[in-house]
Structure 1
């Protein structure tokens, strides 16, 4: 019985390296319809998050063609505008500043074989800018801080003088003890 067990064990061990040569099955390939989540970017642009409807994974294909069309107040229109992949991650697309301030109805579509369509309302606003820095508000205490340097320098000088006095006293005591 031990010989039979040993043969089966060796056969099993011989098969394991051969499994590495077995052709891999394709991973669940992405494709098919898309889900497009469309929103304003807080200013005059539009952002889109594109995911596959089948599994919810983000679209990784950088050549996906997403097209934006919009209708604004007073009959204003925009489009077709091709959206570009964003640096924010896979599946994110941006339009850049293409809308005039106001309310817009935005429609984003993608063609076959990855068909998708989304429509949303966007309130475009003028981009906000940060106010310029004010030198008087940069200091937390609201005043001149140069005095702190003088205090630090005086403390260092006083510490050095005390240390020198102690060393001199120690030397004088040592010379007095050993004439």
Structure 2
């Protein structure tokens, strides 16, 4: 009787894990970005699943690059999550005033891309922040902690590891359920 209870628990756990993995895949495999700029030049990008426009709840590895009408270019700048706003990302640095063709691209949890033309105006009483990578034109004054010259980030190993962990745990639970079922079947045949 105890083995039957353990087998049932293992099967239910495996079904729950596999069911959750199936629901995550229901969003599709492509991300689209809706890009906007705040008045101070900070760019925001809403990461949405392409097939259902649901916000991407997972951590997103994405970068922003931009080219101004006058030839200046910035990026790639790493995008960071906006607290309390699922699927919304922003830049640590602000775009300088001007008209910008902005591109956002992601590599994790899925490939994604978005483009927008944005006009950034100077905010009275503030100087726009500019980072390295702002080419010809205004001088560069980055905050010391921002490294915006790095290439687009690869999926972090912890994010990739957690995805594989779910798959491995589900496979182990499924194999355990099969082994328990086989043991029960052998016991039943031996008793009968």
Question: TM-score per shorter chain, which class?
Answer: 0.5 to 0.7
Q: 2:41 aligns with which of 28, 44, 47?
A: 44
The CA RMSD over aligned residues, in Å, is 2.4
**What SS does the aligned partner of 1:29 have?**
helix
Partner of 1:26: 19
Q: 2:94 aligns with which of 95, 98, 106?
A: 98
Higher relative contact order (CA 8 A, sep 6+): 2
Alpha-carbon distance in structure 2 between the residues aligned to 1:75 and 1:88 = 35
Shift of 1:113: 5.5
Alignment partner of 1:110 is 2:106:
yes
Shift of 1:52: 1.2
> Any unmatched runs of 5+ in structure 2?
1-7, 126-192
**What SS does the aligned partner of 2:19 have?**
coil
Contact 1:43 1:97 in 2 (8 A): no
Q: TM-score, normalised to structure 1's length?
A: 0.55
Contact 1:84 1:95 in 2 (8 A): yes
> Any unmatched runs of 5+ in structure 1?
1-17, 130-179
Q: 2:74 aligns with which of 72, 78, 94?
A: 78
Q: 1:65 aligns with which of 61, 67, 91?
A: 61
The 1:59/1:44 distance shift into structure 2, 3 A limit, reads: same
Alignment partner of 1:35 is 2:32:
yes
Shift of 1:111: 1.8
Q: TM-score, normalised to structure 2's length?
A: 0.51
Shift of 1:26: 1.3
Q: After superposition, what is the alpha-carbon deviation per residue over 1:153-175, rounded to whole angstroms, capped at 9, x for unaligned?
A: xxxxxxxxxxxxxxxxxxxxxxx
Number of aligned positions between the proteins: 111
Runs of 4+ in 1 over 4 A off after TM superposition: none
Q: Which has the larger radius of gyration?
A: 1
**What SS does the aligned partner of 2:24 have?**
coil
Shift of 1:112: 5.7
